[in-house]
Amino acid sequence: MILREVADDDLDALFAFQADPIAYEMADVPPRDRPAFDAHWTKIRQDPEVLLLTIDLDGVVAGHVLSFILGRRRVIGYWLGRDFWGRGIATKAVAELLEIETRRPLRAHVFPSNTASARVLAKNGFRLLRGEPGSLTFELR
């Protein structure tokens, strides 16, 4: 597995991943239709405050990881295609992201029922700061 710059050829797979109803319900992130997806990804790929990388598993797009500013804080996020869940890929991808993204503190937000995502963060040193209805907030210092 490697993290690499997002290529135009990755976008079809990344669009399909975010359109998976099981995945977007688990992440509590609404899917975008293709025009909105393309506009959003064009914007974030051009934003110097966003570090956005494709998770490449032996030449196959498995998902993406990123860091960005939300409010006044730097946060990370990640998304894997469902075929790649449960294989330790997200944990490894976040670990590699943390080697590249050295700014601290970092936060991450997880939907409370997404225990797998909470485990990914815990394995990478994030600590639960607080739980609120609809969101758990983790931080890495």
Tens digits of residue pLDDT in 75-89: 999 999 999 999 999
Structural tokens at position 106: 């970092």
Count of CB atoms situated within 10 Å of the CB of 83: 12
20-39 pLDDT, tens per residue? 999 998 888 899 999 999 99
Domain residue extents for the chain: 2-102
Fold adopted by 2-102: Aminopeptidase (3.40.630)
Mean pLDDT of the chain: 96
Instruction: Reply yes or no on whether the pLDDT at 63 is more than 90.
Output: yes
Evaluate if residue 94 carries a pLDDT over 90. Answer: yes
Per-residue pLDDT of 103-138, as tens digits, reads: 999 999 999 989 999 999 999 999 999 777 778 999
Q: What is the pLDDT of residue 134?
A: 79
Beta-sheet pairing, 127-132 with 2-5: unpaired
Report pLDDT for 130: 79
Taking the C-alpha atoms of residue 98 and residue 100, their distance in angstroms, rounded to an integer, is 5
User: How confident is the model at residue 46, as a pLDDT?
Assistant: 98
The DSSP line for the chain is: -EEEEPPGGGHHHHHHHHT-HHHHHHHT-----HHHHHHHHHHHHH-TT-EEEEEEETTEEEEEEEEEEETTEEEEEEEE-GGGTTSSHHHHHHHHHHHH---S-EEEEE-TT-HHHHHHHHHTT-EEEEEETTEEEEEE-
pTM for this entry: 0.95
